Amino acid sequence: MSSYYRRHARIFQAAALFYLVPCSYNTETDQFEQRTVNKLAFAVGIGMTVPFWYFDLKFMIAFYLENISPIMVAVGSIEIAVYVSIVSCTLLNTFGRRHRYTRLMNVLFHDDWLLDRYESAEMEYDNRRPFAGLLFAMLTMMSINMFYHRDMNLRILSMSVALKIFGIGYLCIIHRVCVGAIGVRMRQLSILGKLSCGRHPAQEKVVYYFVERFELYASQLRQIDQCFSMPLTMIVLLVLIEMVYLVFDIYAVLALDRPVFMENLEIDYVQWALRQLWQTIYGAVVLLTVTGCQRTCGELQQTAQLVRRLDDDRNRNSRVATQIHRFLLQNLNRKINFSVCGMFDIDYAMIHMVLSSIFTYLVILVQFDQLQPERLSYLNTNLNTTANGSDPNLKVH
């Protein structure tokens, strides 16, 4: 396997145990293969979703959907439906596309005798630090919640929330590593092309290798989209809903001019801010995914343009010139962007789309909530209960 894979081998080994990837690396065959242990991981994962569904639905409905306005109940029901099904849908998607996943892994992480000599290109695509940062953030937030919540049911719910967020972050790290594998190969191709410029005797062979490798790795964009589109769609939807709640909660605090009550204990602004970090982790996960895709797309564009430098006046009527011109024509219509089910591209424009949607839905929620009778309105209920010193029921994570 390539040195880039060896850098992230432990991440993939653990991901295979959770069935985030459906195959494992076999050192004897030097290939990714679907093994019995992977099938067992899928069976165990699907079996464990049932108790998770039960506890998630039971506790989230009990602690969250009671005593809020009908419009918030509708939005909360959508959130819970996405939240409790994201694990099972991800596992089923991985199982259904297991053969495509295996082919993708064998293309992205196989040895390449021509490009592996340029290992320095891998340094900027090392994702071990982002993974360690995600793990540290989850352990820190879990410890804070275990210390803060005294009720065992709340602790179980917090643990479930933490595991879900960690799973979402883990999947996005796997996606980022796969996307980065294309970026590494493009960077290595760029180094090869720059070193080969002006070497006319060997140029025909270099152009052949350059075009062949570029076509091979650039075609994996669509394969990555096919493998990850379904779980990424659900993640983006969940992130959108969670960030809407975050902004709505901030609006509610501003309307109340103080943090709300929670679990019969008055909390200060610091504790309230810690509670909001659960939602902001979702936003960080999206940012991590977007930046990885954007960087690789930039490498693809720069590498495709580099082929022009391999052409010169001495090759105008040669096979080299014909191959270069054919390559340039093919890249005119090539879409060099990662996407989610073809609905939108994963780039900085997606962040703008998410932010615009968040504030649009916030305005809609506030307007609908104000149209409710005072006894059903979320904000009015909180204002009245705060004035009376009672405990409104709010989201616990």
Task: Return the bridge partners of 345, or none.
Answer: 339
Range of the domain at 252: 44-72+111-376
pLDDT for 226: 92
Q: How far, in Å, CA of 369 to CA of 365, rounded? A: 6
Name the range with the highest mean pLDDT among 3-12, 72-81, 241-250, 376-385. Answer: 3-12
| In-domain check, residue 93 | no
Q: How far, in Å, CA of 36 to CA of 14, rounded? A: 15
Q: Average pLDDT for residues 125-147, to the nearest whole number?
A: 83
Average pLDDT, the chain: 79
Task: Return the bridge partners of 25, or none.
Answer: 32
| In-domain check, residue 18 | no
DSSP string, 107-146: HHTS--TTTTT-GGGGGGG--HHHHHHHHHHHHHHHHHHH
Q: Which residues touch 40 (CB under 8 Å, ≥6 apart)?
A: none
How sure is the predictor about 210, in pLDDT bands with cuts at 50, 70 and 90?
A: confident
| In-domain check, residue 25 | no
| In-domain check, residue 92 | no
Residue 387 has pLDDT above 50, yes or no: no
| In-domain check, residue 101 | no
pTM, two decimal places: 0.85
Q: Average pLDDT for residues 289-293, to the nearest whole number?
A: 92
| In-domain check, residue 84 | no
Q: Which residues touch 54 (CB under 8 Å, ≥6 apart)?
A: none
Per-residue H/E/C for 295-316: HHHHHHHHHHHHHHHHCCHHHC
pLDDT digits (tens, 9 = 90+) for 65-95: 655 556 666 777 777 778 778 888 899 999 9
Task: Select from 219, 100, 126 the least CA-distant residue to 180.
Answer: 126
| In-domain check, residue 358 | yes
The dihedral region occupied by 262, where left means phi > 0, alpha psi between -120 and 50, and beta the remainder, is beta
Q: How far, in Å, CA of 238 to CA of 224, rounded? A: 21
Q: Average pLDDT for residues 390-394, to the nearest whole number?
A: 40
pLDDT for 244: 81
Q: How many domains does the chain have?
A: 1
| In-domain check, residue 383 | no
Share of the chain above pLDDT 90, in %: 24
Look at 183 and 372; give whichever has higher pLDDT. Answer: 183
Amino acid at 218: A
Question: In the structure encoding, which two tokens stand for residue 379, read together?
Answer: 């904000």
Task: Select from 278, 273, 5, 12 the least CA-distant residue to 131.
Answer: 12
